[in-house]
Amino acid sequence: MNKNTKVVLAILLGNLFIAFLGIGLIIPVLPTIMNELQISGTVVGYLTAAFALTSLVLSPIAGRFADKYGRKIMIILGLATFAVSELLFGLGKTVEVLFISRILGGVSGAFIMPAVMAYIADITTMETRPKALGYMSAAISTGFIIGPGVGGFLAEIGTRVPFFAAAVLGVVATVLSILFLTEPERTEQPEVVEHAKSKSPLKKILIPMFLIAFLILFISSFGLAVVESFISLYTDHKFGFEPRDIAIVITVSALIGALSQVLLFDRMTQWWGEIKLIRLCLVISAIFVFAITQVSSYLMIIFVITMCFVGFDLIRPAATSYLSKIAGNDQGFVGGMNSMFTSLANAIGPILGGMLFDIDVDYPYYLATVFLAVALGIALVWKKPVLKQPAETVSATK
C-alpha cells in the first residue's frame, strides 16, 4: 500500500473503532439508566433488538446505495447519524427517546459497515485486501472491547457523559471524513465466471459460492453472539466468578482474538486461503465452545474462552475477504448482505440462548457447538470459484 492508501485506511478503521466504541459504552451504565427511568429487563431487551433489527433491515439497502451513490457519502451520513444517536441517548429522559436513539444507531451501523467494506475493496488489491480486512475486524473488536471500560470510567463523572463523549467523537470522525476521504476509483472487479454476465445482485446471493459464505457468516456470528451474551452469566452461575474475574476473562480473551486478526490473519490466508482457514477455525471454535462446558479451573477457563475468540475472530475477516474477491462490482451490496446476516444472528442468538440458559446453563453452548458442526459440514463442500479477470478500469461518480 502507498502512503495515501494507508492514511485513508487509518481514517476508515478509526471510523469503525468509534462506531463500535459507542455501542459498547452503554453496557456499564445500563443498570443505572434502568433505575433512573424505572424500565424493566424486557424493555432493555427491546432496546437492544431495535438496534439489531434496524441494521438488519437497512443493511442490504444501504449496501446498494453505497454502490449507486458512492462510499464516502454513506460513511459521512452514517457517522453523522451515529453522533445524533449518541447525543439523544445522553439527553433522553423517556423510553421513547431511547428507542429513537437505538433505531438511529442501527441506521448508522447499516450505513457505515457496507460502505467501509466496499471502500477497502476499492483501495486494495487481491493481495493486500486480507491484511486490510484483518485490521478492519480488529478495529471493530477493539472498539467493542474498550467501549465498556471507557464507559465505566466516564460514568464516574456522570451517567450520561459517555454518550456525550461518543457524540463528540462522531462529529470529529464526520469532519475528518469530509476533509480527507475522497470517493475512491473503482476498478472493474473479477467475477465468478459462470455468472459474470448476471445483472441482478440478488440472484448472485443464491449462487452456492455466495450462499455458503453467508451461511457460514450467519452461523459463526450466531455462535459468537451466544458465547459473548452469556459468558458473564455462565461464569457467575457455574463458577461463582466476581465481576473482576469476568472482566479479566473477557478482556484477555477478546484482546488476544483481536491481536490474532492483526498478526496472523494475513499470513494464514496466504498459506491456506480463506476457505481452508475458515474450516480450521470452525473446528477450533466448535471444540472449544464445547470445552467451555467441561473445564473448571480458572486458567483453563481463560484458555478455552481465548481459543474460542481466536477461532471466531478469524472466521469473519476470512469470509469477508472471500466475498470481496468474488463480489465483482457489487461490493457495497455484498457488504450490506454481510451486515444483514450478522445482524440477524446477533438478534436470534441471544434470544435462543436465553431460553436455553433458563433450562440449563450448559445448553446454549451445546446449541452453539451443534451449529458450528453444521457450518463445518457446509464448509467441507465449499469449492473455490473460478474468476473472470476484468479487462478495463472504471471510475466511480465523483
Average pLDDT over residues 286-291: 94
Amino acid of residue 65: F
pLDDT greater than 60 at residue 390 = no
Residue positions counted in the chain:
398
pLDDT greater than 60 at residue 256 = yes
pLDDT greater than 80 at residue 30 = no
Query: In 330-390, which ranges are continuous DSSP H helix?
Result: 331-359, 363-380
pLDDT greater than 50 at residue 165 = yes
Q: For residues 372 and 375, give the distance between their C-alpha atoms in angstroms, rounded to a whole number.
A: 5
Residue 335's pLDDT band, with cuts at 50, 70 and 90, is confident
CA distances from 304 to 138, 139, 239, 262 (A): 20, 23, 15, 21
Residue 287 neighbours by CB under 8 Å, 6+ apart: none
pLDDT of residue 254: 74
pLDDT of residue 394: 42
- What digits encode the pLDDT tens for the residues 214-231? 999 899 888 888 887 777
Mean pLDDT of the chain: 81
Residue 22 neighbours by CB under 8 Å, 6+ apart: 82, 85, 86, 105, 147, 163, 166, 169, 170
Question: CB of 360 within 8 A of CB of 147?
Answer: no
SS3 21: helix
- C-alpha 1, offset from chain centre: 24
pLDDT of residue 33: 76
pLDDT greater than 80 at residue 169 = yes
Q: For residues 308 and 296, give the distance between their C-alpha atoms in angstroms, rounded to a whole number.
A: 16
Which domains, from first to last, does the chain contain? Answer: 1-183 (1.20.1250.20), 202-383 (1.20.1250.20)
- What digits encode the pLDDT tens for the residues 260-276? 877 888 888 888 888 99
Question: CB of 125 within 8 A of CB of 1?
Answer: no
Q: For residues 108 and 85, give the distance between their C-alpha atoms in angstroms, rounded to a whole number.
A: 8
pLDDT of residue 75: 95
pLDDT of residue 253: 77
Q: Residue 93 gets which letter from DSSP?
A: -
pLDDT of residue 178: 93
Highest-pLDDT range among 30-39, 146-155, 314-323: 314-323
Q: For residues 103 and 50, give the distance between their C-alpha atoms in angstroms, rounded to a whole number.
A: 6
pLDDT of residue 51: 81
